[in-house]
Amino acid sequence: MEKFELIATTVFGLEEIVASELMELGATDIELLKRAVKFKGDQALLYKSNLHLRTALKVLKPFAQFMVHTDNDLYKKIKKINWEQYLSVEGTLAIEATVNGEYFTHSQFVALRCKDAIVDQFRDKYNSRPSVDLENPDLRLNIHISDRICSVSLDSSNTSLGKRGYRQAQSLAPMSEVLAAGIIALSGWDKKNDFYDPMCGSGTFSIEAALMASNIAPGRSRSFGFERWKDFDADLWSSIKKNAESKIITPSCKIFGSDIELGTVDISKNNAAIAKVDHLIEFKQMDFLKSETHFNDGMVFLNPPYGERLKEKEDIIPFYQEIGTQLKHHYEGCEAWIISSNIQALKFIGLRPSRKIRLYNGPLDCKLHKYELFRGKKGSQAKPEDIN
């Protein structure tokens, strides 16, 4: 099969994880970019990337690049592309644009000019034109303009790869599936140690862990943009999906999730059932800060409140202090990974982080801290002023 250039987009901080996933899938010429990874692969790899990548947002297929100087110049050069290769006059279209530089500053205007160029090409030839469908188009395009360089790509994913299809209901301020999977990957979890998410919210950490431990492809239950392309190979896609199903295993680890709110636990259980991993996760209602449960030699993942909401602000420091106390007393021998945008509150965990990683949870600039919870006294405690 012919190889071509592809780009997997992601969130800040997960570029190396995406590159590692792509290497396992057989990608070549891998190059790290900002919030993206460039690589080469064939049609089969394009399909596999969409099905298997846990920490990517989109897989783009660039096919044109040129200099643009004005919006009329952009219109003319987009209109010169033979769009019948990719779209029929009866088809539907959506365009997403990003701009960076002083010449083009409005992404929506760029998207509109490109849409006009494409539909005008069809109207000139057929006196008819494709229509716009922003939700589920036959063809979704990505237009990226950096200064005067315009790159045009086919969006093979359509909706974000983070939309696995299992999160039908969600708690307040849920973590994205991509970020949850990325944090688990950054931790180096071996899929053998037991896994605990004591503030489970919508169950995202636990569900992503169950999918990973079972070797279940994250895109198993959804569709992709390339399935509506003119060159779609249904037999190849069917073969790739069957191969993925044959690789599913029964994990040896135990996965636990809990939350103080019963309604939240019910949401997690329902989402896990949709993902078909509910039999692999034990969810229960429990106040993590008051529990006497001991959990040893496992991995603990916490996405606590950040104190962004007004009613949380006063109590956030004592809350983080209690998290640290609970970890010290009941989780000996474990590794704890905590993400928060509240860097000041993180200092009051009272444990010295052995690793710090900068990530974004949506628009929030966060730190992911790793804490090694030693048995006995091994200098693991720290004063808030010692932790920068």
The CATH number for 205's domain is 3.40.50.150
Split at pLDDT 50, 70, 90, the class of 168 is confident
Residues with Cβ within 8 Å of 202's Cβ and at least 6 positions away in sequence, in order, are 167, 169, 170, 171, 174, 175, 264, 267, 268, 271
Question: What is 103-122 written as a DSSP string?
Answer: S---HHHHHHHHHHHHHHHH
Residue 39's SS3 state is strand
Same domain membership, residue 341 and residue 261: yes
Which of 90, 47, 81 lies closest to 231, judged by CA?
Answer: 47
Same domain membership, residue 102 and residue 187: no
Q: Looking at residue 173, what is its pLDDT?
A: 62
Cβ proximity of 253 and 195 under 8 Å: yes
- Domain that residue 351 falls in: 177-216+250-383
Same domain membership, residue 140 and residue 69: yes
Higher-pLDDT residue of 294, 221:
221
- In single-letter form, the type of residue at position 209 comes to A
Split at pLDDT 50, 70, 90, the class of 377 is low
Q: What's the mean pLDDT in 187-214?
A: 96
Split at pLDDT 50, 70, 90, the class of 102 is confident
**Residue 379 pLDDT > 50, yes or no?**
no
Which of 340, 10, 347, 355 lies closest to 175, judged by CA?
Answer: 340
Distance CA 166, CA 244 (A): 18
Higher-pLDDT residue of 293, 80:
80
Residues with Cβ within 8 Å of 310's Cβ and at least 6 positions away in sequence, in order, are none
Same domain membership, residue 148 and residue 184: no
Same domain membership, residue 138 and residue 16: yes
Residue 125 within any structural domain of the chain: yes
Q: What's the mean pLDDT in 129-144?
A: 96
Same domain membership, residue 210 and residue 114: no
Which stretch of DSSP H or E encloses residue 177?
Answer: helix 177-187
Same domain membership, residue 191 and residue 112: no
Q: What's the mean pLDDT in 186-211?
A: 96
Cβ proximity of 218 and 248 under 8 Å: no
28-52, pLDDT tens digit by residue? 999 999 999 999 999 999 999 999 9
Same domain membership, residue 209 and residue 96: no
**Residue 162 pLDDT > 70, yes or no?**
yes
Residue 275 within any structural domain of the chain: yes
Per DSSP, what are the bridge partners of residue 32? 37
Same domain membership, residue 149 and residue 182: no
Residue 263 within any structural domain of the chain: yes
Specify the number of domains making up the chain. 2
Q: Residue 227 is encoded by which pair of tokens?
A: 């399935």
Averaged pLDDT score across all residues of the chain = 93
Distances (CA, A) of 26 to 49, 154, 386: 10, 21, 44
Residue 244 within any structural domain of the chain: no
Q: Residue 19 is encoded by which pair of tokens?
A: 């590159």
Split at pLDDT 50, 70, 90, the class of 125 is very high
Same domain membership, residue 367 and residue 326: yes
Residue 379's SS3 state is coil
Residue 14 within any structural domain of the chain: yes
Cβ proximity of 364 and 373 under 8 Å: no
Cβ proximity of 320 and 348 under 8 Å: yes
Distance CA 209, CA 250 (A): 13
Of the chain, the percentage scoring pLDDT greater than 90 comes to 88
- CATH code of the domain in which 63 resides: 3.30.2130.30
Q: Looking at residue 310, what is its pLDDT?
A: 47
Same domain membership, residue 25 and residue 71: yes
Q: Rounded to the nearest 10 degrees, how much is the dihedral formed by the CA atoms of 182, 188, 44, 235? A: -90
Same domain membership, residue 195 and residue 151: no
Residue 162 within any structural domain of the chain: no
Least reliable range by pLDDT among 61-75, 264-278, 305-319 = 305-319
Q: Looking at residue 1, what is its pLDDT?
A: 79
Residue 65 within any structural domain of the chain: yes
Q: Residue 155 is encoded by which pair of tokens?
A: 């969006």
Which of 288, 165, 169, 174 lies closest to 219, judged by CA?
Answer: 165
Residue 164 within any structural domain of the chain: no
Residue 263, φ and ψ in degrees, nearest 5: -60, -35
**Residue 73 pLDDT > 70, yes or no?**
yes
Q: Looking at residue 386, what is its pLDDT?
A: 40
Q: Residue 377 is encoded by which pair of tokens?
A: 């006294």
Which of 146, 156, 81 lies closest to 119, judged by CA?
Answer: 81
